[in-house]
Amino acid sequence: MAILPCGSTWVAQWGQPQFVIRSSSSSKLPTSSQCVSRKIRALESPSSTLFSQHPLHILFRLAPSRGLHHRRGARLVVRADSDYYAILGVSKNASKSEIKSAYRKLARSCHPDVNKEPGAEQKFKEISNAYEVLSDDEKRSIYDTYGEAGLRGSGMGMGDFSNAFDLFESLFGGGGGMGGMGGRRSRSRAVDGEDLMYNLVLDFKEAVFGVEKEVEITRLETCNTCNGSGAKPGTSPSKCSMCRGQGQVVTSAQTPLGVFQQVMTCSSCGGTGETSTPCNTCGGDGRMRKSRRMRKSMRISLRVPSGVDSGSRLRVRGEGNSGKRGGAPGDLYVVIDVLADPVLKRDDTNILYSCKIPYIDAILGTMMKVPTVDGMVELKIPPGTQPGTTLVMARKGVPVLNKSKRRGDQLVKVQVEIPKRISVKERDLIEKLASLSKEAVSSGR
């Protein structure tokens, strides 16, 4: 923090720094332009360690002063948010090796996996932030000249707090340097494989009772040449020069609302943090596309449970694409599509069927064979069955999914056929039946 005496009242803002006036007297006196010019020249002089030699009006975007008021004994106070050198415990002319050594020592003692005291993680992030700025020549130069406000105003940012643990891992080898401490895994290591989708078509009865199917899938499997590393045999990967092994790059832009930062996957290494000579077999992906048949005789089989329907999904764990660099394989999702039956219709766990019977059978009753998923079954038509009556065949429907001992019903809708033409003999018999019916009605009265 630098404090300079000033005979004029200035309130200026550049980026984030704020200039505050402290005065021991509130009396307003006229001031001359010579006094203002003298203070500006003092601040922008070559001997000043507070600002560069750029014109102060340009550096702080100050408009020409008019009608300024004087406050006797006023002081111009420039506030700095943090002293990065003090945080790391080094001097301002410390070398890179001294800064790195100080960071390693402090990071080991303040890492949240070792230090369980409250505020340890925040302290660890502050240490990492200070090191990220002071270890970069360009950022350090701006910080030495303008402080934190200069980093904000230049659009470079002051270090990424979210990368504190990645910065630690880049120096200690992914946490292994902590002597077995359970550190966080680097983002540049294992990547899980993608899930796959497969459409399986079943006929009506296969969906009702379940089936074991033989299917063939095409998926990415680990390359045998490079063993999944993606690097040409005999070569070793190196740290990506674009992202410096972080797998991500941060871009900053100055906007009227402040500095806008965007974190993106590194386009050079694809987020791995490493670059290598690609394998000639897999082209650097570490995986090859292969076909695999899942047979009944193999240890891996696809068993479709009873009661599935169109749209049902089955999950086969570990049968998706292989992961990269030792990542877990994805899963295989099998989507069921059931073909319609020409006779039987399905309504959830019930099966619907319609049958037609002569009017004589509806009057007298009869036994008839009805198709079901279990085969032909006899159904009793009771006497006096009315058109549109629904008869229930218990437990002849679809098993409940994952509860095969429970089944729905088959619902049979009876349709009575009335003949449009009858013979003369049939007419005589029906007329006699009608006469008997009228006599029975009359006698009942």
Give the strand order in the sheet containing 2-5: 2-5, 75-78, 19-22
**Pseudo-torsion of CA 47, 51, 54, 55, nearest 10°?**
-100
Cα–Cα distance measured from residue 194 to residue 328, given in angstroms and rounded to the nearest whole number: 9
| Exposure string over 229-239, b if 16+ CB within 10 A, otherwise e | bbbbeeeebee
- Whole-number pLDDT of residue 407: 95
Would the CA dihedral through 210, 216, 221, 223 be positive or negative?
A: positive
**What are 186-225's pLDDT values in tens digits?**
444 678 999 999 999 999 999 999 999 888 888 898 898 8
Residue 61, judged by CB atoms within 10 A of its CB (0-12, 13-18, 19+), counts as: exposed
- pLDDT category at 283 given cuts 50, 70, 90 is confident
Evaluate if residue 185 carries a pLDDT over 60. Answer: no
Instruction: Please tell me the least confidently modeled range out of 48-52, 248-252, 271-275, 360-364.
Output: 48-52
Q: What is the mean pLDDT of residues 55-82?
A: 43
- Whole-number pLDDT of residue 178: 46
Residue type at 343?
Answer: V
* Cβ neighbours of residue 180 closer than 8 Å, sequence gap 6 or more: none
* Cβ neighbours of residue 175 closer than 8 Å, sequence gap 6 or more: 113, 168, 169, 181, 182, 183, 184, 185
Cα 146–Cα 151–Cα 157 angle in degrees, nearest 5:
170
Cα–Cα distance measured from residue 191 to residue 140, given in angstroms and rounded to the nearest whole number: 35
Residue type at 58?
Answer: I
Q: Which tokens is 93 given?
A: 């002319």
Helix (H, G, I), strand (E, B) or coil at 294: strand
Evaluate if residue 340 carries a pLDDT over 90. Answer: yes
Residue type at 333?
Answer: Y
Q: Which tokens is 169 given?
A: 């891992």
- pLDDT category at 150 given cuts 50, 70, 90 is confident
Cα–Cα distance measured from residue 271 to residue 327, given in angstroms and rounded to the nearest whole number: 15
Cα–Cα distance measured from residue 118 to residue 263, given in angstroms and rounded to the nearest whole number: 29
Cα–Cα distance measured from residue 141 to residue 121, given in angstroms and rounded to the nearest whole number: 27
| Exposure string over 286-321, b if 16+ CB within 10 A, otherwise e | bbbeeeeebeeeeeeebebbbbbbeebebebeebbb
Cα–Cα distance measured from residue 280 to residue 338, given in angstroms and rounded to the nearest whole number: 44
Identity of the highest mean pLDDT range in 72-81, 86-95, 263-272: 86-95
Evaluate if residue 296 carries a pLDDT over 70. Answer: no
Higher pLDDT, 297 or 104: 104
Evaluate if residue 279 carries a pLDDT over 50. Answer: yes
Name 399's bridge partners: 407
**What are 303-329's pLDDT values in tens digits?**
999 999 999 999 999 989 999 878 899
- Whole-number pLDDT of residue 141: 87
Higher pLDDT, 433 or 341: 341
Residue 313: what are its φ and ψ, rounded to 5°? -120, 135
Mean pLDDT of the chain: 76
For the chain, the C-alpha Rg in angstroms (whole number) is 42
Helix (H) or strand (E) holding 250: strand 248-255
Evaluate if residue 342 carries a pLDDT over 90. Answer: yes
**Pseudo-torsion of CA 13, 15, 17, 20, nearest 10°?**
10
Q: Which tokens is 445 given?
A: 């009265």
Alpha helix stretches (DSSP H) within 60-191: 84-88, 96-110, 120-134, 137-146, 148-153, 164-172
Instruction: Please tell me the least confidently modeled range out of 28-32, 205-209, 237-241, 408-412.
Output: 28-32
Cα–Cα distance measured from residue 187 to residue 265, given in angstroms and rounded to the nearest whole number: 11
- Whole-number pLDDT of residue 171: 54
Cα–Cα distance measured from residue 305 to residue 315, given in angstroms and rounded to the nearest whole number: 12
Give me the residue label for tokens 């009227």: 256
Alpha helix stretches (DSSP H) within 19-119: 33-43, 56-59, 84-88, 96-110
pTM over 0.75: no
Give me the residue label for tokens 């002293």: 83
Specify whether the CB–CB gap between 54 and 60 falls below 8 A: no
- Whole-number pLDDT of residue 44: 45
Percent of the chain at pLDDT exceeding 70: 71
Evaluate if residue 239 carries a pLDDT over 70. Answer: yes
Q: What is the mean pLDDT of residues 124-145?
A: 86
Evaluate if residue 264 carries a pLDDT over 70. Answer: yes
Cα 125–Cα 127–Cα 129 angle in degrees, nearest 5:
65
Evaluate if residue 33 carries a pLDDT over 70. Answer: no
